[in-house]
């Protein structure tokens, strides 16, 4: 039943922002930055024109600095497309959450604060609703990383998820940092463990997607959605190849 429920896996392209430009990093290393497009709105519009409905927008400047930097990019994409945008990177206060929603974000993805100030994030879950918040679980060797992946928290992914599962979190975005930007395939074994342990969580897989076969495998595993980033920029996966996934979303 679970595989049937998640059969129409969402495909969510990622737009990562540094200096208001579309970039990609390798393994979260800012020194590996590669600029793919200087106009994020143009990229978002292309995705929308090809049937994409959701977008993962990451303020990498904000993640590194510890406060949101690229508010204008969020506002521009939200006001020029009808994409369902989940936004992350440097959000630390309730006022910033409200501002992101006011500028057009549909959901907020939170990682570092959810590690360092659990009670604050739990308060957000209660105030804004679990459907509006995505728990960001960025992982290296099954340990949670924070601050734009620059710091290891030494906390197990599973103890982290245990806590928030009890608090009613619904969406979890899990990124295996060792896979991110490598185009060598996702962390299938990690995602399988999470799906088996937390059947009710909507797992969004991220990192390493390199082919359409990867997406089929993640779908069959029961992932709710998958983030696709570098594979689209590098034409390892084309928007045309994604059409069967897009057309099957109800």
Task: Give catalytic residue positions.
Answer: 16, 138
Residues 100-144 have pLDDT tens digits of 999 999 999 998 899 989 999 999 999 999 999 999 998 988 889
| pLDDT confidence bin for 179, thresholds 50/70/90 | confident
> Distance between CA 19 and CA 21 in Å, rounded?
5
For residue 79, pLDDT beyond 90: yes
Please name which of 77, 85, 108 lies closest in space to residue 95, comparing C-alpha atoms: 108
* Mean pLDDT computed over every residue of the chain: 90
Q: What is the CATH number assigned to the segment(s) 2-247?
A: 3.20.20.70
Report residue 192 CA to chain centroid gap. 18
For residue 6, pLDDT beyond 50: no
SS3 per residue for 136-193: EEEEECCEEEECCCCEEEEEEHHHHHHHHHHCCCCEEEEEECCCCCCCCCCCHHHHHH
| pLDDT confidence of residue 3 | 35
For residue 31, pLDDT beyond 80: yes
| pLDDT confidence bin for 248, thresholds 50/70/90 | low
For residue 174, pLDDT beyond 90: yes
Model confidence, pTM: 0.91
- How many CB atoms are located within 10 Å of the residue 118 CB? 14
């Amino acid at each position: 039943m679970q595989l049937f429920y998640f059969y129409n896996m969402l495909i969510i392209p990622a737009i990562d922002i540094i200096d208001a430009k579309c970039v990609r990093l390798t393994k979260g290393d800012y020194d590996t930055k590669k600029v793919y497009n200087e106009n994020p709105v143009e990229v978002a519009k292309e995705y929308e024109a090809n049937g994409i409905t959701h977008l993962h927008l990451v303020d990498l400047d904000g993640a590194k600095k510890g406060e949101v930097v690229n508010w204008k990019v969020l506002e521009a994409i939200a006001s020029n497309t009808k994409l369902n945008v989940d936004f992350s990177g440097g959000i630390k206060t309730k006022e910033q959450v409200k501002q992101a929603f006011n500028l057009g974000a549909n959901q907020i993805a939170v990682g570092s604060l959810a590690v360092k100030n659990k009670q604050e994030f739990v308060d957000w879950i209660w105030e804004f609703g679990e459907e509006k918040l995505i728990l960001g679980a960025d992982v290296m060797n099954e340990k949670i990383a924070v601050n734009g992946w620059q710091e290891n928290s030494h906390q197990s992914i599973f103890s982290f998820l245990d806590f928030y599962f009890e608090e009613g979190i619904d969406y979890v975005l899990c990124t295996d940092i060792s896979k991110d930007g490598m185009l060598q395939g996702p962390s299938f074994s990690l995602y399988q463990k999470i799906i088996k342990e937390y059947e009710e969580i909507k797992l969004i897989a991220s990192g390493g997607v390199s082919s359409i076969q990867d997406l089929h495998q993640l779908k069959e595993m029961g992932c709710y959605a998958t983030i696709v980033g570098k594979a689209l920029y590098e034409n390892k996966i084309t928007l045309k190849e994604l059409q069967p996934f897009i057309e099957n979303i109800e």
